Structures are given as C-alpha cells and as structure tokens.
Amino acid sequence: MTADRDLARLGVGLVSSYTEAARAAEELLRRRYHWADAAEAETLVALGGDGFMLHTLHDMLDLGHPRPVFGMNRGTVGFLMNEWRMDRLAERIAGAKPIHVAPLIMKATCVDGNTHSHAAINEVSLLRETRNTAKIEVSVNGRVALPELVADGVLVATPAGSTAYNLSAHGPILPLQARMLALTPISPFRPRRWSGAILPDDTRIHFRVLDAGQRSVSAVADQFEVRDVATVEVSLDRSASLTLLFDPEHALDERIAMEQFAT
C-alpha cells in the first residue's frame, strides 16, 4: 500500500452515519485507504450531514476524548462539512484549516426538582410544550434583564450555530471569531419590539419559567430535550474546545461570514 493511502499511519480513523449515501461512501473509502481504529485514532473523518457531525462531536465530549474531525458531506445541507471527494485525502487533511469551537453547557432544573446537564454546539432552545405561549424571565449575569418574555420560546446560539435555528428565528449571524452569543426570541408576543441581544460569550444567562404548571416549557441542547423545566442556566464551556478541519478554500469561518450576504 502506498504511503498516501495508509491513513492508519497518520492516525486517521473513519466514521459514518447510517444513511445509504454515507454507508456507500464509507465502503468506497475503506477499499481505497487503510484506516486506524476509530476509537483510538488521533483524527476522524466523518461521513454524513450536519446532524451526524453534531452527533460525532457530542460523542467525543461524552467520552472526554476530543479529536480533530474532517467531515465530508453525504447528507443534506452539509454546512459543517467539506465537499465529498475520494482523492488526495491525506493531503487534504494535512492542509486543512482548523476551526475551534466551544460548546454551551445547559443546566436545567425540572418542575419535579430533577436536574440535567447537556452540552450544545449550536444552540440551547426553550420551547413551549402546549398551545399556551411560554412566559419566561430572562436574567443576565444574575440581573433580571426581561421580567417577562411572552413567546413560543427563546434560544442562545454560539457563532457556529448562529446560521442554524437562530437564523430561522431571525437572530443575528455571528462571525466565528466573535466572542459573542446570540440571545434570540422565538415568535415573541411581548415585548413587541424586542428582537434579542448579542452578549459577550462569558455571560451567564438564566431563564425562569413563569407559571410552569400551566405553561410547560422544554429545554433542548442541540438534539437533547428536557421536558417540563422550571429554570435553565446557559454558559460557554471553553475547557471543552472542539476542532473541526476544513479545506482552506471552503472553511467554516468564511462560509458564516458570507451568509450575511445571502439572498
């Protein structure tokens, strides 16, 4: 086997989602290259879409074993992924631009007193569970900023996640280098003119659900949902930095910046 095909020597492992396209791509790559065991690899190639990339990053956080990930899109949107190509993979990985992202930590306390903690790479969202609008008190660094937000919900997004649900909720796009978080209401009713806030990323944001018994609210950290929450605290965890690898001509920071000009 030629050196450029021996990715195991470089400590590169391969993982893929369960979709047909991703599995087919994995089969082609396993025929083409020799891979390190994914559990022991120093770098991972991930095949799938944005959802699978988030799943891969969450798995690394849960195991306490963060490694650089070079994603290739075999999903739908692929905003967090590189273009799918089989050729010169060792060269692409060696020349990739590293992008570092830090996750949010959501600490949710439920009405029954149980507590849950989850990481979020994109966003933490509070969402109404019933036909009734949610009523939420919003505090910033221990100070009540909004005594009562009446809305379908509210979210906190990282720069990496600012082009996802946050953008759909008309929140701001944050450059990846910005040390900021987006605090964005979801279909707000009161206050009518409040469109959200951009906060320093060392801010602690605390949500208290008002009338939680009648107006149930769930809290979602990326894909992880906690039902019937009473309070939720969100902050950035810089100790758990993650690294995504991108082709320099198609890096995430530039794509996020260009999203500001999308029509």
**pLDDT surpassing 90 at residue 35:** yes
pLDDT in tens, 80-97: 999 999 999 999 999 999
**pLDDT surpassing 90 at residue 237:** yes
Catalytic residues: 50
Domain annotation for the chain: domains and CATH numbers: 3-102+241-259 (3.40.50.10330), 104-239 (2.60.200.30)
Please, which pLDDT band fits residue 213 given cuts at 50, 70 and 90? confident
Model pLDDT, residue 168: 95
Residue 165 annotated as binding?
yes
Task: Give the alpha-carbon dihedral of 71, 75, 80, 85, to 10 degrees.
Answer: 40
Model pLDDT, residue 2: 62
**pLDDT surpassing 80 at residue 4:** no
| Pairwise pLDDT comparison (221 vs 260), residue with the higher score | 221
Neighbours of 173 (CB within 10 A): 19
Q: Is the peptide bond before 191 cis (omega within 30 degrees of 0)?
A: yes
Residue 160 annotated as binding?
yes
Residue 100 annotated as binding?
no
Look over the chain and give the mean of its residue pLDDT values, rounded to a whole number: 94
pLDDT in tens, 143-195: 999 999 999 999 999 999 999 999 999 999 999 999 999 999 999 999 988 99
Residue 50 annotated as binding?
yes
pLDDT in tens, 45-64: 999 999 999 999 999 998 88
Model pLDDT, residue 225: 97
**pLDDT surpassing 90 at residue 263:** no
What percentage of the chain exceeds 90 in pLDDT?
85
Model pLDDT, residue 169: 96
As a whole number of angstroms, the distance between CA 176 and CA 161 comes to 9
Please, which pLDDT band fits residue 1 given cuts at 50, 70 and 90? low
Q: Which residues of 178-213 are buried (b: 16+ CB within 10 A; e: fewer)?
A: bebbbbbbbebeeeeeeebbebebebebbbbbbebe
Residue 51 annotated as binding?
yes
Please, which pLDDT band fits residue 32 given cuts at 50, 70 and 90? very high
Model pLDDT, residue 65: 80
As a whole number of angstroms, the distance between CA 202 and CA 56 comes to 25
Model pLDDT, residue 34: 96
Residue 163 annotated as binding?
yes
**Residues 6+ positions from 108 with CB-CB distance below 8 Å:** 115, 116, 117, 118, 219, 226, 229, 231, 232, 233
Model pLDDT, residue 192: 87
pLDDT in tens, 244-255: 999 999 888 998
pTM (two decimals): 0.92
Tokens of residue 258, six digits: 């260009």
pLDDT in tens, 103-134: 999 999 999 999 999 999 999 999 999 999 99
Residue 167 annotated as binding?
yes
